Amino acid sequence: MARSRVPILIMGVVLWCCLTTPAKAEYMKYKDPKQPIPVRIQDLLDRMTLEEKIGQMVQIEREVASAEVMKEYFIGSVLSGGGSVPAPQASAETWINMVNDFQRGSLSTRLGIPMIYGIDSVHGNNNVYKATIFPHNIGLGASRDPELVKKIGAATALETRATGIPYAFAPCIAVCRDPRWGRCYESYSEDPQIVQDMTDIIPGLQGGIPTDSPKGVPFVAGKNNVVACSKHYVGDGGTTKGIDENNTVIDWQGLLSIHMPAYYTSIMKGVSTVMISYSSWNEIKMHTNRELITGFLKNTLGFKGFVISDWEGLDRITYPPHANYSYSIQAGIHAGIDMIMVPYNYKEFIDGLTFHVKNNVIPMSRIDDAVRRILRVKFVVGLFENPLADNSLVDQLGSQEHRELAREAVRKSLVLLKNGQSLNQPLLPLPKKTSKILVAGSHADDLGYQCGGWTMEWQGFNGNNRTIGTTILAAIKNTVDPSTNVVYKENPNAEFVKSNNFSYAIVVVGEHPYAETDGDSMNLTIADPGPTTIRNVCGAMKCVVIIISGRPVVIEPYLASIDALVAAWLPGTEGQGVADVVFGDYGFTGKLPRTWFKTVDQLPMNVGDPHYDPLYPFGFGITTEPTTRQSDDNPFLSISSYFN
């Protein structure tokens, strides 16, 4: 009996050693940065449950996100909608801490798949206090300068990364064919070639794609760059009467030649994601259009990144929205949408999609395609190696270098439409040194009006207390000679104008901020009291009118009394760029990115149309040379106008 206990004792010791010796960690290919990305994707995909896969397809708003939610539901992405911030006037560090908190929840899951945070950095990191706000796309289209736009993309990437965010929902590559559309300022031009040229913002945002990079594969250069998103696929700028989210009636050839070219170019430049449009093409909702999403974008064009819905895009498949959400989930996922911007009711979406997969309504192959694409972008952007943001780029937010770049962009975006009542008597550039000048108009001293929609709030703001920048009035005061008396009166009456012996007047008027459907307009008028201000001032003295707007507006009724007319679009925070050109430190070089109509009854009207009869044609812009003239005694510049 005693001898039989020895082997038992030995076996017990061996078993104890096995249980107490740390097990060697399992080698996981997806965690190895030396492995090729396709190998890492497949290894991770093979380990994932259905629940984990569906979680990756979900993007939720930060308001409903938490570390616990990220962990419990395996959420793949979080976003900030317009104006959704961690705190009023939040610092870059506050943003980083919020993003990292969500990320830690994701990293604590079984497989530790990092989430990706997205934000609408559409003209700079425009949700964030103190960020540089660049001109909206319509102004950049007027610059005709793709290299400038590329630099703006790089600066925007740095300011977005400064807040810990690696994903920007930009650029909008819509081709706006009707200025009545509330998103027209998000379009570079009515001309598809200009929009195509401006996709150079993508290598600015993501970094320049290597020459040997395979076509259609997403590319992000490093930690100073962000994932870009070409939007809104496809035809969003061609809706009937410019009504937002409406129907684009055009044949296949027209869709290919007008609305599709910038998508070809985006894919060639390695764009990582594509967002689907709310609009329809010939009555088929784009969020359900399998032919265009899976058939053309993915299969024909070879796009290998992920396709994302717009905000509540699935809900809007039906009318009224969310009327049959189960059908909407089925239709949207079947069409080829990979990530769903839910953004609030994520449990309902997860339950609905899970039901469809388990009941073989949506095949597992479609889920795997979506997750493979999402993981590809996450691997490409380096989230698995660097999931948590640090503070190394916080000084990039609103940096002086970026503000100087934005100021340059403002200068190059200005379009001079009229200069003097006759060609040999130009009013611009204005003298810096004179006795007294009048600055008038609702938009002269309002940073919010200057920036437009998608600035601090979804619909924009008014006033000067929401972010940092230079108003046009402040820029004028900075520029004129110290001896020049600048008098500002928002809406002076004619008697005030006549009785004050001003040398000249600068009137700054335009549209109030708006975004999306709220900006749809059938009359395209200057906001009150702008027309009254123009009549009172320009009817009494020499004046230059500067229009702050997201599109051409009705100006013909006032044109005869206006001595000089400048389209300044929505210039952003750096109003000094306006004064730089108006006072002659730089010349006017901008060209109209879209046709300026006489009356709204002519719309839609684009260059090449049979009924083309504009007030100012596409490509028009008077050019001037810079001058150092300081007083009224010096001669005015000679000028020339030319077209594209």
Peptide bond connecting 171 to the previous residue in cis, omega within 30 degrees of 0: yes
Question: Which DSSP symbol is given to 474?
Answer: H
Q: How far apart are CA 553 and CA 111, in angstroms?
A: 54
Please name the residues in contact with 56: beta carbons below 8 A apart, sequence gap of 6 or more.
48, 74, 76, 113, 339, 370, 371, 374, 375
Helices and strands of the chain, counted as H and E runs: 21, 19
Question: What does each C-alpha distance from 129 to 83, 95, 362, 397, 410 come to in angstroms?
Answer: 11, 11, 43, 9, 20
- Burial class from Cβ neighbours inside 10 Å (0-12, 13-18, 19+) for residue 598 reads middle
- Burial class from Cβ neighbours inside 10 Å (0-12, 13-18, 19+) for residue 360 reads exposed
On whether the CB atoms of residues 242 and 178 are closer than 8 A, the answer is: yes
On whether the CB atoms of residues 513 and 452 are closer than 8 A, the answer is: yes
Q: Which two tokens stand for residue 442?
A: 């609702």
Sole residue written with tokens 């990437």: 157
Alpha helices in 456-594 (DSSP H): 472-479, 494-498, 530-538, 576-582
Q: Which residues face 641 on adjacent strands?
A: 622
Catalytic residue among 178, 190, 310, 408: 310
* 310 among known catalytic residues: yes
Question: Which DSSP symbol is given to 616?
Answer: B
Q: How far apart are CA 365 and CA 354, in angstroms?
A: 14
Catalytic residue among 516, 563, 574, 580: 516
Q: Is 297 helix (H, G, I), strand (E, B) or coil?
A: helix
Nearest-5° Cα angle at 173, 154 to 83:
70
**Catalytically annotated residues:** 310, 516
